[in-house]
Amino acid sequence: MKLAVYQARATDGDVEGGFARLDQALAGAAHAGARMLVAPELLLPGYNRPDLHGSLAQPLDGPWIIRLQGMARKAGCGLVLGWAERLDERVYNTATAIGSDGEILAHYRKIQLFGPMERASFTAGETAPLVFDLEGRRAGLLICYDIEFPGHAADLAAAGADLVLVPTANGAEYGHVQDVLIPARAHESRLHIAYANYCGSEAGLHFGGRSLIAGPDGRPLVAAGSSEALLISELPALTDLPSERLSSQDLDYRRPG
């Protein structure tokens, strides 16, 4: 299966501009033969826009998701992206996976909120990410800071996942995440991890770019620089993946002595 990662410029509240660029990225990914495109965290309405998160957040059955379903169906390429979800009086930092047929495959609310802005803007998710079928593979969703906690990736691997899709909004000062933590998470749990970051700046926050897809050996299959980019990678067949899986119990185990 071919997988695409879109390293986007921040939306910064320009929702229509975000949709337009995402539509172009989907078309490019589909043209390259990709079956799924991963885009950044809170692409709608923008990551560092707490002034907009509450006022623009939408429900799962709202116009944003309906429009995204139509875009994926038209392109013939699935889509994962982050967005601000409203449920009654609560707002969540959410990622949704939409299949190439426009159907919702998975829906996840970020558990590990990062920093004062996120904690003031969003309610933390309480449901662990689930594993879902994706073009014959088993995939899971995490969002940005979630992947920095080994147990989340390990739990997905223990549940049978071989692929984790991660919309993110990682600042330029946290480059160790791309250099060290994403490769480590991939190797620890014998996973492929697709990490889709922003480039450029938004409301004073400078993003680090350098989106990547890391393999189970900890090495990148493909990686971006600091500019807008569309990454495409052919994932190895399931028969070529390591058979071992590390569970959360393995990672928590400490040998006395």
Give the amino acid at 144.
C
The torsion angle over the Cα atoms of residues 71, 215, 142 and 22, rounded to 10 degrees, is -20
pLDDT tens digits, 143-174: 999 999 999 999 999 999 999 999 999 999 99
Q: Which residue has the tokens 């495109």?
A: 37
Residues designated catalytic: 41, 110, 144
Tokens of 128: 């662990």
Q: Tell me the backbone φ, ψ of residue 178, rounded to 5 degrees.
A: -70, -35
What does the pLDDT look like over 27-57, one tens digit per residue?
999 999 999 999 999 999 999 999 999 999 9
Could you tell me whether strands 163-167 and 192-196 are parallel, antiparallel, or unpaired per DSSP bridges? parallel
Taking the model in full, what pTM does it have? 0.94
DSSP 57-74: -B-TTSHHHHHHHHHHHH
